[in-house]
Amino acid sequence: MARKFPTHTTLACMLVFAVALFSAGFHSSAAGAPTQHKDSANSKIVVPYAPTPQRLVDRMIEFAAVKKGDVVYDLGSGDGRIVIAAAKAGARAIGFELDRQLIKESRANIAKAGLGELAEIREQDLFTVDLSAASVVTMYLFPDVVLKLKPRLLQQLKPGARIVIHDNDLGDWKPDHKEWVDGRMFFFWTVPAKPR
């Protein structure tokens, strides 16, 4: 692999990525069973699917103090678990995803959770998302992808907006908080009042 998540990513996660990258478009679904992804050849998909563990999702949402009135964007929303956790906390939550199988699965997961009024998945390239309406942005992507998004985060998010990233930091923009959960790290920033 030319690009990898940092070495502290667990073996299980790496195995999921290896499967996603090298096994003809297969990945592990939330239920653990392999699921064929017909869109895995979509050239705009810059990071393969690997889920953030639920305990980490819950802690990210808790630490970011997600609540009613927040608008949460998950960039590359996978099976929708971050979107669902944010909606359960009372926020309006929107996931952006290109893999049609994952879009289908995540929409079904949202419906099953009874969160259809608060949660939504949009089929959209994460690099084209206008972030200005978000009060919280979450992501679990490759380091170079996160860094590529950094100017958009700084330009488009309002002061006070929160950013929560699983596994990767934002280079020289030091996080306000970082925390380990079950061997995984997440990073947290608050967008400053003045442009950086």
Compare residues 20 and 193 and give the one whose CB is closer to ligand SAM: 20
Q: Which of 59, 81, 152, 184 binds ligand SAM (CB under 6 A)?
A: 81
Token pair, residue 94, equals 């929107």
- 47 near ligand SAM (CB under 6 A): yes
With left for phi above 0 and alpha for psi between -120 and 50, is residue 13 left, alpha or beta? alpha
- 77 near ligand SAM (CB under 6 A): yes
93, 74 contact by CB (below 8 A): yes
Residue type, 143: P
Compare residues 21 and 192 and give the one whose CB is closer to ligand SAM: 21
**Distance of alpha carbon 180 from its chain centroid, rounded?**
17
Compare residues 82 and 170 and give the one whose CB is closer to ligand SAM: 82
The nearest distance, CB 32 to ligand SAM, in angstroms, is: 14
- 110 near ligand SAM (CB under 6 A): no
> Applying CB under 6 A, which part among 40-48, 155-163, 174-182, 187-195 lies near ligand SAM?
40-48
- 99 near ligand SAM (CB under 6 A): yes
CB atoms within 10 A of CB 136: 25
Token pair, residue 121, equals 């998945």
Q: Which of 9, 25, 51, 164 binds ligand SAM (CB under 6 A)?
A: 51
Q: What is the DSSP string of 92-160?
A: EEEEEE--HHHHHHHHHHHHHTT-TTTEEEEE--GGG--GGG-SEEEE---HHHHHHHHHHHHHHSPTT
Binding site for ligand SAM (CB under 6 A): 44-47, 49-52, 74, 76-78, 81-82, 96-99, 102, 125-127, 140-141, 166
